[in-house]
Amino acid sequence: MPLALRLPTLSRHFPGLLAAATIALAATFLSEHYGGPVMLYALLLGMAFNFLSQDGACVDGIATASKLVLRIGVALLGMRITFDQITQLGVGVPLLMTGAVVATILGGLGLGRLLGQGRAFAVLTGCAVAICGASAALAIAAMLPRGAKLERDTIFTVIGVTALSTIAMVLYPMICAWVGLDDVRAGIFLGGTIHDVAQVVGAGYSISPQAGDTATFVKLFRVALLLPVVLVVGLAFGRRAGEGDKPPLLPPFLVAFALLVAVNSLVAVPGELVQGVNAVSRWCLVAAIAALGMKTSLKAMAELGPRPILLLVGETVLMAGLVLAALAWGGVV
């Protein structure tokens, strides 16, 4: 494409991309200096600038940040995972995690029907709870048919799983002590039930280094399940969407995710490069959430009512109950 044609496109998207990056930077500063989840800060700050997405120079760039930048961030998550990390868990733990993920998603569908929630929303929340919180919510949302409520539902899910993950980071280590789980089982429970990676790390290492290492490996296995789950969701909903909304059989960002997992597993990638890619992924996801926040109004969030909250809490309790029962009384490990 000639440079003369590319420059107007860049200038049209630049203001919105700059706004999303600025909010992401502010959210990171707040998280690093005052504590708290960076994703939640990005969402709340983005909502304060909702007017930027309504009209003006930022509209196109905000839309790009909420879609293209989001897919880049999800794809780069593959650099966090290796096949060796998965095989170190043995057979029982991956089977437990796979079963718990499937049961949570299916249970969320059933609970969503009882609460009068749509199938797409139940899948969105169930996958976010079952796999990796906000990152899974964003990836699943990218595969669902576009609708007027999708962005609102995605923002609600991100806020909900982030809040519940923060509560779990404090509460779940106490449950481990109460039930009498050793460090390995405690790490499996924390990594297998807490939604977001940062809270898994915080909860695990608050018990012991062994619990923290185990929790991290288990959590990364759940992240690895993102690829097959997103692909299945895309196939299921793609068949029911209109031709204009139907996603490709293998979306490019999922192909990139799988390739990065393979590269990170088969090639000795320098640690500095892995850290750099992970940092870029994190920045992309924070900027994408900031953009989604700018596209969502508090009024729209208030219209959801209490039933979506009950759905998220129910899915979280189901996931925790299944894993805890298997570890404490099922003899999995």
- pLDDT at residue 85 above 70? no
What pLDDT, on a 0 to 100 scale, did the predictor assign at position 154? 85
In a domain, 162, yes or no: yes
In a domain, 23, yes or no: yes
Calculate the average pLDDT of the chain. 80
Q: What average pLDDT does range 157-164 have in this prediction?
A: 82
Distances (CA, A) of 167 to 39, 161, 193, 195, 329: 15, 10, 12, 10, 25
For the chain, the domain total comes to 1
Q: pLDDT tens, 178-225?
A: 988 888 889 899 989 988 776 787 788 778 877 877 887 788 788 878
Cα(147)–Cα(325) distance, integer angstroms:
38
What pLDDT, on a 0 to 100 scale, did the predictor assign at position 215? 83
What pLDDT, on a 0 to 100 scale, did the predictor assign at position 300? 61
- 171-175, 215-219, 249-253, 287-291: lowest mean pLDDT where? 249-253
Dihedral, CA atoms, 239, 242, 244, 250, nearest 10 degrees? Answer: -10
Within 10 angstroms of residue 198's Cβ, the number of other Cβ atoms is 18
What pLDDT, on a 0 to 100 scale, did the predictor assign at position 260? 85
DSSP-assigned states of every residue in 3-44: HHHHHHHHHHHHHHHHHHHHHHHHHHHHHHHH-S-HHHHHHH
Q: What average pLDDT does range 34-39 have in this prediction?
A: 76
In a domain, 331, yes or no: no
- pLDDT at residue 238 above 70? no
- pLDDT at residue 44 above 90? no
- pLDDT at residue 242 above 50? no
In a domain, 330, yes or no: no
Kindly tell me the burial class for residue 60, based on how many C-beta atoms sit within 10 Å of its own C-beta (0-12, 13-18, 19 or more).
middle
In a domain, 9, yes or no: no
CB–CB of 140/154 below 8 Å?
Answer: no
- pLDDT at residue 89 above 60? yes
Q: pLDDT tens, 272-301?
A: 888 888 888 888 888 887 887 787 666 666
DSSP-assigned states of every residue in 203-247: HHHHH-HHHHHHHHHHHHHHHHTHHHHHHHHHHHHHTTS-TTTPP
- pLDDT at residue 150 above 60? yes
Q: pLDDT tens, 120-139?
A: 899 999 999 998 887 788 88
What pLDDT, on a 0 to 100 scale, did the predictor assign at position 74? 72
Q: How confident is the model at residue 22 (pLDDT cuts 50, 70, 90)?
A: very high
In a domain, 7, yes or no: no
CA 145, 149, 153, 154 dihedral sign is positive
Domain coverage including residue 28: 14-325
What pLDDT, on a 0 to 100 scale, did the predictor assign at position 106? 93
Q: pLDDT tens, 261-277?
A: 888 888 888 888 888 88
- pLDDT at residue 14 above 90? no
CA 272, 275, 280, 283 dihedral sign is negative
- pLDDT at residue 53 above 90? no
What pLDDT, on a 0 to 100 scale, did the predictor assign at position 5? 38
In a domain, 6, yes or no: no
What pLDDT, on a 0 to 100 scale, did the predictor assign at position 319? 93
In a domain, 93, yes or no: yes
Q: How confident is the model at residue 1 (pLDDT cuts 50, 70, 90)?
A: very low
Percent of the chain, pLDDT > 90? 14
Within 10 angstroms of residue 252's Cβ, the number of other Cβ atoms is 11
